[in-house]
Amino acid sequence: MRTLNDILAISSERKGGETALFEGFEPSLTAGEISQIPDDRWLAQMTRSIFQAGFNWKVVDSMWPGFETAFRGFDPGPCAFMDDVWFDALVTDKSIVRHGPKIRAVQENAAFILDIRKEHGGFGRFIADWPAPEFASLLLRLKSDGSRLGGATGQYFLRFMGVDGYILSRDVVGRLVAEGVIDKAPSSKKSMMAVQAAFNTWADQSGRSLKEISRILATSTG
């Protein structure tokens, strides 16, 4: 496995230098900032990421004010106890994307957030306290305890909330395969732990964040 500096050299050559490589790059939020994000915003972004998965992102973005109204500001309390009347109204509501299983996922994720709130005081506190070197375990937790938050959906959800982490895009996976970390896109706990170990090694070598490493890997191939 190459050092991160070796991979950075490849990326810099491909992109015209390190400055160009990180053009437009925004650092992740601090733990303190993450902990202060209200639970309704976590549920809102979960929902947005779920509805964007496999769909036109621009359509969801253009309809988002309708989502905010239809789901009552994504307050986890009411959403978790959604009754049949509300659900039936949502699946016929033209102001949102009418996808029954994804609408149901909002209710299920609201219940997930409420469970986390009981234990940690808030979903933001739960995420802020999760160690970056165990990011893969956080992704697995979202997949197991949340609804429709596995794979890229969970990764993008955390990225959009400002959490330091990686996106296992095709290009990032391509570099991980080239470095012998995995032999295909990770789908098991074992392969995700191998990915995390590689990111941790590169982080220790460089002092860079997971998000920075992800950018370097993504721009080194493809």
Please, what is the end-to-end C-alpha distance for the chain in angstroms?
Answer: 18
Together in a domain, 110 and 211:
no
Longest dimension (CA), the chain: 58
Q: Cα dihedral angle (150, 155, 161, 164), rounded to 10 degrees?
A: 130
Domain that holds residue 116: 31-149
**How many Å apart are CA 86 and CA 96, to the nearest integer?**
14
Does 81 lie in the same domain as 129?
A: yes
Per-residue pLDDT of the chain (222 residues; tens, 9 = 90+): 999 999 999 999 999 999 999 999 999 999 999 999 999 999 999 999 999 999 999 999 999 999 999 999 999 999 999 999 999 999 999 999 999 999 999 999 999 999 999 999 999 999 999 999 999 999 999 999 999 999 999 999 999 999 999 999 999 999 999 999 999 999 999 999 999 999 999 999 999 999 999 999 999 996
Q: Does 21 share its domain with 53? A: no
Among 118, 149, 180, give the residue marking a domain's end.
149
Are 140 and 172 found together in one domain? no
For the chain, the residue count is: 222
CATH number for the domain including 76?
1.10.340.30
**Is there a single domain that holds both residue 137 and residue 61?**
yes
